[in-house]
C-alpha cells in the first residue's frame, strides 16, 4: 500500500489522467463519477480539483462546469515566449554545471526517441502502444533534464509550472502530424552544444529550436481553423473519451450544448469533427 496520503494519491491520479490524455479536452468533470472510479469519497476529489484549478489545468467559474483547460493560440504564443526566455537560462546553466551522468541521460533520451521514430517508420512499433504520447514524454523529459542540469531550483520550478500548459497544448494538437525528424535534429544540435560546454552555441540553439516550435504550433492552429470551416454543417459529435458517436444531448449552458456518451457514460461539451 502506498505511504502517500489519500488526498495526494487522488490528486496525482487525476493530474495524470489529464496530462496523459485519458480525460478528453472539453470533457466535463463529474465529482460523483470520479469518486466512483477512484473508489473514494467526494472530499479528496474536490480538493484535487481545487489544486488543479490553481495549476490552471482545470477551468474555474465556467458556465460549462469544470472542464480541462483548452489553450488558445494567443496563450500558446505567450507560453513559447516565456519558454524562450527561461530555457536560455537553463542551457547556460547546463553548460556550466551538467554532470557526466546528466549528459549521458540527455544522450540516452535522444537515442530512445530516435528508436521509437525508426520503429514507427519500419512498422515495428507495437500496436498497443501510443508512439506519439511516448515521444511527447521523451521530449518533455529532454527539456526537464536540461533544466535539472542548470542546478537552479527556482528556474526548474518555473519551468515545471509552464510544462503543464505545454503538455495540455501538445495533447490538444496531437492529431496534427509534426516533423519529428526536424525536432530530433534540433535536439541533437542542442545536446552537442551543451556537451561541449559552449553556452553561446547552446543559447542560440535553444532559441532557434523554440522559435521553430512556436511557428509549428501557429501552423497547427491555422490548419485546425481551416478544417473547422471546411467541416461546416457536415460535422458530427464524437465522445472525446471513447470516440463513440452514440451521443445524446444533456442540457445546455448558455450558448453551448452538453452531451452524454451512451457508450461510456462520459459528459462533455460538444466539439465537432469532420464527418
Q: Is the dihedral of CA 241, 246, 249, 250 positive or negative?
A: negative
Would you report the helix, strand and coil content of the chain in percent, each value rounded to 5?
Answer: 65, 10, 30
Closest CA to 175 of 116, 240, 120: 240
Answer yes or no: is pLDDT of 112 > 50.
yes
Give the whole-angstrom CA distance, residue 98 versus residue 94.
5
Q: Is the dihedral of CA 223, 224, 225, 226 positive or negative?
A: positive
- Residue 210's CB is within 10 A of a number of other CB atoms, namely 21
Residue 160: which residues within 8 A CB-CB, separation 6 or more?
Answer: 144, 147
* Residue 231 pLDDT: 46
Out of 106-115, 170-179, 253-262, least confident range: 253-262
Answer yes or no: is pLDDT of 234 > 70.
no
Per-range mean pLDDT, top range of 116-130, 166-180, 205-219, 231-245: 205-219
Q: How confident is the model at residue 275 (pLDDT cuts 50, 70, 90)?
A: very low
pTM given for the model? 0.74
The continuous run of DSSP H or E covering 269 comes out as strand 267-269
Mean pLDDT across the chain, nearest whole number? Answer: 83
191 with 65: CB under 8 angstroms?
Answer: no
Specify burial of residue 208 (Cβ count, 10 A radius: 0-12, 13-18, 19+). Answer: middle
More reliable by pLDDT, 107 or 230? 107
DSSP secondary structure letter of residue 21: T
- Residue 275's CB is within 10 A of a number of other CB atoms, namely 12
* Residue 123 pLDDT: 57
For 49-67, write each residue's pLDDT tens digit.
999 999 889 988 666 688 8
More reliable by pLDDT, 149 or 129? 149
Q: How confident is the model at residue 161 (pLDDT cuts 50, 70, 90)?
A: confident
Q: How confident is the model at residue 135 (pLDDT cuts 50, 70, 90)?
A: confident
* Residue 235 pLDDT: 47
Average pLDDT over residues 104-113: 96
Q: Which single residue is written with the C-alpha cell 537560462?
A: 89
- Determine what percent of the chain is predicted with pLDDT higher than 90: 44
More reliable by pLDDT, 124 or 6? 6
Give the whole-angstrom CA distance, residue 79 versus residue 91.
18
* Residue 199 pLDDT: 97
Closest CA to 56 of 88, 81, 79: 79
Q: Which residues pair with 123 in a beta bridge?
A: none
Give the whole-angstrom CA distance, residue 173 versus residue 154.
29
Average pLDDT over residues 201-205: 98
Give the whole-angstrom CA distance, residue 19 versus residue 5.
21
Closest CA to 217 of 171, 272, 265: 171
More reliable by pLDDT, 274 or 82? 82
Q: What residue spans of 40-152 are helical by DSSP H?
A: 42-54, 73-97, 100-121, 131-149
Q: Three-state DSSP class for 273? A: strand
More reliable by pLDDT, 57 or 198? 198
Amino acid at each position: 500500500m502506498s505511504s502517500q496520503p489519500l488526498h495526494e494519491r487522488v490528486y496525482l491520479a487525476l493530474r495524470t489522467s489529464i496530462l496523459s490524455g485519458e480525460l478528453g479536452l472539453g470533457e466535463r468533470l463529474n465529482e460523483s463519477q470520479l469518486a466512483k472510479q477512484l473508489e473514494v469519497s467526494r472530499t479528496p476529489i474536490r480538493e484535487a480539483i481545487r489544486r488543479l484549478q490553481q495549476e490552471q489545468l482545470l477551468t474555474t467559474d465556467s458556465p460549462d462546469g469544470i472542464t480541462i483547460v483548452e489553450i488558445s493560440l494567443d496563450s500558446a504564443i505567450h507560453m513559447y515566449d516565456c519558454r524562450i526566455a527561461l530555457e536560455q537560462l537553463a542551457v547556460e546553466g547546463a553548460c556550466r554545471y551538467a554532470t557526466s551522468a546528466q549528459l549521458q541521460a540527455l544522450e540516452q533520451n535522444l537515442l530512445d526517441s530516435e528508436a521509437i521514430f525508426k520503429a514507427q517508420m519500419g512498422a515495428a512499433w507495437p500496436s498497443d502502444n501510443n508512439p506519439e504520447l511516448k515521444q511527447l514524454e521523451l521530449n518533455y523529459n529532454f527539456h526537464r533534464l536540461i533544466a535539472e542540469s542548470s542546478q537552479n531550483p527556482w528556474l526548474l520550478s518555473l519551468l515545471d509550472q509552464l510544462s503543464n500548459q505545454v503538455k495540455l497544448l501538445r495533447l490538444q494538437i496531437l492529431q496534427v502530424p509534426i516533423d519529428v525528424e526536424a525536432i530530433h535534429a534540433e535536439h541533437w544540435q542542442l545536446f552537442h552544444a551543451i556537451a561541449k560546454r559552449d553556452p553561446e552555441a547552446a543559447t542560440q540553439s535553444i532559441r532557434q529550436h523554440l522559435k521553430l516550435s512556436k511557428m509549428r504550433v501557429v501552423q497547427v492552429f491555422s490548419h485546425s481553423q481551416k478544417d473547422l470551416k471546411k467541416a461546416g454543417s457536415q460535422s458530427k459529435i464524437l465522445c472525446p473519451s471513447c470516440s463513440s458517436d452514440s451521443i445524446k444531448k444533456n442540457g445546455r449552458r448558455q450558448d453551448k450544448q452538453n452531451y452524454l456518451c451512451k457508450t461510456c457514460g462520459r459528459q462533455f461539451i460538444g466539439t465537432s469533427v469532420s464527418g
